[in-house]
Amino acid sequence: MQRRFDQLDDAWPAGLARRLGAMVYDAFLVAAIWISLTVLHVAFVRHVLGLGPEEVGAGEPQRLVLQLLLLVGAFVFFAFSWMRGGMTLGMQAWRLRVQTLDGRSITLLQSLVRYLVAWVSLAALGLGYLWVLFDSERRSWPDIASGTRVVVLPKEKR
């Protein structure tokens, strides 16, 4: 169920520097998730399937399964964070939130589109994120494709 966010009038479109800062933070979290999933995959292959150390990672099926596991693991992290509160841990540190155009939390489909287009944006040498510099509303390719936007939240008053 989508929830309506507050602070809609106080938020403004996020620029490139904040987005990149949050991406660096989140990259460390994704790396930790990938390390954990790889350890689980190797343990499964060794202890459940009973393959020897020299057979771990040998063959196309094992490699493809691990790659798919890593991609799905990263997607689950991002989708859960975006759908729950509109932000990952890196986005929290940089006071960013992803939301629909009318200020609600994003859906699973929007999360999937954002995730897939983010990979395309990175594969295009970051052009999808550099697009923020040229778009009048500071939208990246993932924002445009998923019908969402990333905003900066005001500092909390003490």
Q: What is the pLDDT of residues 58-88, one digit of tens each?
A: 778 888 999 999 999 999 999 999 999 999 9
Determine the pLDDT at residue 109. 98
- Looking at residues 88-106, what average pLDDT do you find? 95
Helix, coil or strand: residue 13: strand
Is 70 exceeded by the pLDDT of residue 10?
A: yes
pLDDT at 74: 98
Q: Which amino acid is at 141?
A: W
DSSP at 136: T
Contact by Cβ (8 Å): 150, 96: yes
Measured between alpha carbons, how far is residue 102 from residues 81, 117, 143, 154 in Å? Answer: 19, 21, 13, 18
Say if residues 41 and 65 touch (Cβ distance below 8 Å). Answer: yes
Report pLDDT for 52: 78
